[in-house]
Copies of this chain bind each other. A is one copy, B any other.
Amino acid sequence: MRLFNVLSPEEVRRIIRTTVAPLPSEIVPIDQAGGRVCSERVLSPEDLPSFTRSTVDGYAVYSQDTFGASDAAPALLNLVGEVRIGELAPSMERGSTIYVPTGGMLPEGADAVVMVEYTDVLGDLIQVLRPVSPGENVIVKGEDFRKGDLVLEPGRVIRAQEIGALSALGVHRIAVHVRPKVAVLSTGNELVPYETISLRAGKVRDCNAPMLMELCRKKGALPRYLGILEDDPTEFRVAIQKALQDSNCVVLSGGSSVGTRDFTASILDELSGGNLLVEGVAIQPGKPLLLAVCQGKPVLGLPGHPVSALSSFLLFGSYILDRLQGRETPEYHPSVQAELALNVPSKPGRTDVVRVKLSRAVGTCRGVSKGTVEWQAIPLFGRSGVLHTLTEADGFILVPPDKEGLQEGEFVDVLLYGYTQYE
């Protein structure tokens, strides 16, 4: 049996950060850029808005003309025209006013708009009942973005609002990192393809591959199923080399037996030029993790049990896909604060990943910070070969290595499957 050095999850992430480099860029239309990672600084090509606009329905004024105006002593202005929305506004002089609809261009000369609610019409005269200050009820040309302003930095994920802002600025194409092509392979002589209808005795459907491919897709990667490898070193070496040829990343799962784990580690060590980076993480489940960079491409070896495979992929595989796409992963993690419903035992010295189900707490919870914790986290214990605790779970908690378990009633941060930075 190979002896190896077990690393902390933080060390593994640090290794990933320092050894996995972003893939090249490609140019995509912005309406197809959602979820992709920006690879170049985007500067504003023009002022936004491109003209000073009214934000209300009202009358454009020289603000000085309204100073001191009130119901008792309205300012009287000559109505000299109307701005039509989407059209060029006329200019105007002091003492006059022009009607402007919301979004309409402010006439040259005017510096504010009085809301229609604070005016009265007297034939060709407009009575202004309240003063406005300069700039009131207008958005000034370039107020949102000035030509040359930084709009987007490399490493930022393109969300709906970035698509909106780029669209508004007339930026129609954007440079993003290419989607990583991920080869997904499973090892184990007991496995048959997951499409198999009837199982022969002793056989098990390969459920890790479709599960891991879904996690890859959620991360913006392009997974490809390369099938099941027999537990045979020679076949294995050839298959990995083939997988490396047209992928940016290889994800293996399986090989839970000691013999398979050993030869997998040896072959990855060999293919990476003696640079097997990770051979075990102080985490439960998911200890027997392998990571090597072969031909500049990360190869991740996940444990075979589905719970361990999913858990390890979320913590490390997703991070590899973030790095390949150049994503600057924020260090905060959205979570639901909940009260632990049961004691959770844990060995000090390792991080425990505990699946939990959320349930509405009924009056048992103490208040915390701004209100009360409304949720209870019910730990789902179960072996890592068992899938139903994963489908029942809403999320997971991380028990840090300096803790000997968590107590019933403690507050925990539940990371929800489907809503974490890990996915």
Contacts and interface: CB of A to CB of B under 8 A. Distances in A.
Interface of A: 30-31, 34, 46, 48-51, 53, 55, 57, 84-89, 101-105, 116, 139, 143-145, 149, 151-152, 157, 159-165, 167-170, 172, 188-191, 194-197, 199, 201-215, 217-218, 231, 256-259, 304, 306, 310, 330-337, 358, 360, 368-370, 374-375, 383, 385-388, 390-391, 393-394, 410-421
A391 B214 contact: no
A151 B215 contact: no
Contact of A214 (B116, B163, B207, B388): B163
A261 to B, nearest CB: 9
A85 to B, nearest CB: 5
8 A-B pairs with least C-beta separation: A164-B211, A168-B207, A334-B334, A86-B190, A161-B390, A167-B194, A160-B214, A167-B207
A410 B214 CA distance: 39
Which of A163, A197, A414 has most B Cβ within 10 Å?
A163
B144 A387 contact: yes
10 contacts: A85-B202, A86-B188, A103-B256, A144-B385, A160-B212, A160-B214, A160-B218, A163-B214, A368-B369, A419-B421
B420 A419 contact: yes
Contacts of A257: 57, 85, 101-103
A145 B102 CA distance: 61
How many of these chains are in the complex?
2
Contact of A390 (B165, B231, B415, B418): B165
B196 A170 contact: yes
Contacts of A417: 159-161
A206 to B, nearest CB: 8
Contacts of A87: 201-202
Given A101-B257, A160-B214, A205 B167 contact: yes
Contacts of A310: 160-161, 164
A199 B159 contact: no
Query: Which of A116, A210, A333 counts the most B-chain CB atoms under 10 A from its CB?
Result: A210
Contact of A386 (B143, B201, B209, B335): B143
Given A210-B163, A391-B162, A168 B205 contact: yes
A188 to B, nearest CB: 6
Contacts of A53: 204, 385
Contacts of A168: 194, 204-205, 207, 306, 387
B205 A85 contact: no
A388 B144 contact: yes
A174 to B, nearest CB: 12
A83 B157 CA distance: 50
A161 B258 CA distance: 26
Contact of A86 (B203, B212, B368, B413): B203
A46 B203 CA distance: 14
Contact of A304 (B103, B160, B167, B209): B103
Contacts of A116: 258
A70 to B, nearest CB: 23
Contacts of A199: 46, 50, 170
Contacts of A172: 195, 197
Contact of A151 (B31, B48, B383, B391): B391
A191 B104 CA distance: 11
Given A88-B202, A207-B167, A413-B370, A332 B358 contact: yes
